[in-house]
Amino acid sequence: MSTTTIDRLRDTELSYRATLAGGALSVFLLIALLGLAFPSSIWGNFLAILTSRSTLSSALRLSVPITFAALGGIFSEKAGVVNIGLEGLLIISAFTAVITTAVVGPEMTVVGLPAIWIGFFAGILSSVLFSALFAVVCIRFKADQIIAGLAVWLIALGLAPFAATVYYGGVNTDNLGTTLGTWTIPVLSDIPFFGAFFDADPAVYMMLVAVPASWYVLNRTAFGRHVRASGENPKALDTVGVDVSRVRYAGVLLSGFLAGVGGSALSLGLGQFVGNNQTMVNGKGFIAIVAYLFGNYNPIGAFGASFLFAGLEAAQIRLQQVPGYAIPDSLIQTIPYVTVLVVLALVGRTRIPEAAGEHYDTGDDNR
Partner 1 sequence: MSTAVHLDEITKRFSGVVANDDVDLTVERGTVHALLGENGAGKTTLMNILYGLYEPTEGTVHVDGEPRDFDSPADAIDAGIGMIHQHFMLVDPMTVAENIVLGNEPRKWFGTTVDRERARQEVIDLSNRYGFDVNPDDAIEDVSVGVQQRVEILKALYRGADILILDEPTAVLTPQEVEELFRVFEELTAQGKTIIFISHKLGEAMHAADDITVLRNGKNVGTVKADETSNEELAELMVGREVLLEPKAEPQEPGDEVLAVQHLSAEDNRGIPAVSDVSFDIREGEVFGIAGVDGNGQSQLVEAITGLRTPTEGSISYKGGDITDASRRSRIADGMAYIPEDRHERGLVMDFDLVQNGILGSQHSPTFAADGRINWSDARDHAERIIDEYDVRPPHADADAESFSGGNQQKFIVGREFEREPDLVVATHPTRGVDIGAMEFIHERLLDLRAEGKAVLLISSKLDEVQGLSDRLGVMHDGELMDIVDPRNTTEEEIGLLMAGERPNAAETDAEPPVGDAK
Partner 2 sequence: MSAAENAKAVLRRLTAASATERILISFAALIMAVLVGAVIILVSGRITTCQTAATTLFGTGFCYDPVEVYLVLFNGALGEPFLVNSPGILKPLNPNWNPLNFGFALTLKETTLLIFTGLSVAVSFRAGLFNIGTQGQLILGGLATALFSFFVAPLLPSGLVGGLILIPLAIVVGALVGGLYGAIPGALKAYADANEVITTIMLNFIAAQIAFVLVSEFYGNPDSQVVETTPIPDWATLLPVAFPQGGDFSILALAFGLALVVAVWFLLEQTSFGYDLRTSGEQPEAAEYGGVDAKRTTVTSMFLSGALGGMGGAIWVLMVMGKWQAGVPALGFDGITVSILAGNNPFGVVPAALLFGTLKSGSLAVQFGTGVPKQLVGVLRGLIILFVAMPEFFRMLGSTIDLEPDRETVATDGGRLGGDDE
Partner 3 sequence: MDRRSFVKAAGVAGIAGLAGCTGGPSEGSQETTATTTEESGGEETTTAEQTTEESGPAANVGMVYALGGLGDKSFNDAAKRGIEQAESELGIAYDEAQPSAAEEFPQFQRRFAQSSNPDYDLVSCIGYAQKSALSETAPSFSDQKFMIVDDVVDEDNVASYLFREEQGSFQVGYLAGLITTQEFSAGSGSTTADSKSVGFVGGTETELIRKFQAGYEAGVAHADEEISVDVAYVGSFSDSAKGKEIATSMYDNGADVVYHAAGGSGLGVFQAAKEQGKFAIGVDSDQSQTEPNYADVILASMVKRVESAVYTSVENVVNDEFNGGSTTTLGLEEDGVAAVYGAELGSEIPQDVKDSLSESREAIIAGDIEIPTTTE
- The residue ranges that bind partner 2 (CB under 8 A) are 84, 137, 140-144, 146-148, 150-159, 161-163, 165-167, 171, 283, 286, 289-290, 293, 328, 330-331, 333-334, 337-338, 340-341, 344-346, 348-350, 361-365
Q: Which is nearer to partner 3, 103 or 242 (CB)?
A: 103
Q: By CB under 8 A, is residue 280 in contact with partner 3?
A: yes
- Position 177: which residue type? G
Write out the DSSP string of 70-91: HHHHHHHHHTT---TTHHHHHH
Mask of contacts with partner 1, 298-327, x by CB under 8 A? Answer: ------------------------------
Q: How many helices (H) and strands (E) does the chain have?
A: 14, 4
Which range in 124-132, 235-243, 250-258, 327-335 contacts partner 1 by CB under 8 A? 235-243
Binding partner 3 (rule: CB under 8 A), the pick from 16, 31, 45, 55 is 55
In angstroms, what CA-CA distances link 100 with 229, 303, 338, 355?
38, 29, 38, 38
DSSP state of 137: I
How far is Cα 225 from Cα 219, in angstroms, rounded to an integer? 7
Which class for 335: exposed (0-12), middle (13-18), buried (19 or more C-beta within 10 A)?
Answer: middle
In angstroms, what CA-CA distances link 138 with 143, 147, 217?
5, 10, 24
Which range in 14-22, 36-44, 227-235, 301-309 contacts partner 1 by CB under 8 A? 227-235
Q: Of partner 2, partner 3, partner 1, none, which one sits near residue 271, judging by CB under 5 to 8 A according to partner kind?
A: partner 3
Site for partner 3 in 89-128 (CB under 8 A): 102-103, 105
Q: By CB under 8 A, is residue 41 in contact with partner 3?
A: no
Q: Of partner 1, partner 3, partner 2, none, which one sits near residue 114, judging by CB under 5 to 8 A according to partner kind?
A: none
Q: By CB under 8 A, is residue 272 in contact with partner 3?
A: yes
- Going 119 to 248 to 134 to 137, the CA torsion angle's sign is negative
Site for partner 3 in 223-262 (CB under 8 A): none
Max CA distance (Å), the chain: 76
For the chain, report the end-to-end CA distance as a whole number of angstroms. 41
How far is Cα 300 from Cα 23, in angstroms, rounded to an integer? 17
For residues 196 and 53, is the Cβ–Cβ distance under 8 A? yes
Q: By CB under 8 A, is residue 40 in contact with partner 3?
A: no
Q: Which is nearer to partner 3, 184 or 362 (CB)?
A: 184
Backbone angles phi, psi at 350, to 5 degrees: -115, 155
How many CA atoms, within 13 angstroms, populate the side-chain half-sphere of residue 232?
A: 10
Q: By CB under 8 A, is residue 189 in contact with partner 3?
A: no
Binding partner 1 (rule: CB under 8 A), the pick from 121, 232, 283, 359 is 232
Binding partner 1 (rule: CB under 8 A), the pick from 220, 325, 338, 346 is 220
Q: Are strands 199-200 and 113-114 parallel, antiparallel or unpaired?
A: unpaired
Q: What is the total residue count of the chain?
A: 367
Q: Which is nearer to partner 2, 22 or 158 (CB)?
A: 158
Binding partner 3 (rule: CB under 8 A), the pick from 177, 243, 327, 354 is 177
Distance of closest approach, residue 320 Cβ to partner 3, in angstroms = 5
Q: Which is nearer to partner 1, 140 or 325 (CB)?
A: 140
Distance of closest approach, residue 32 Cβ to partner 3, in angstroms = 20
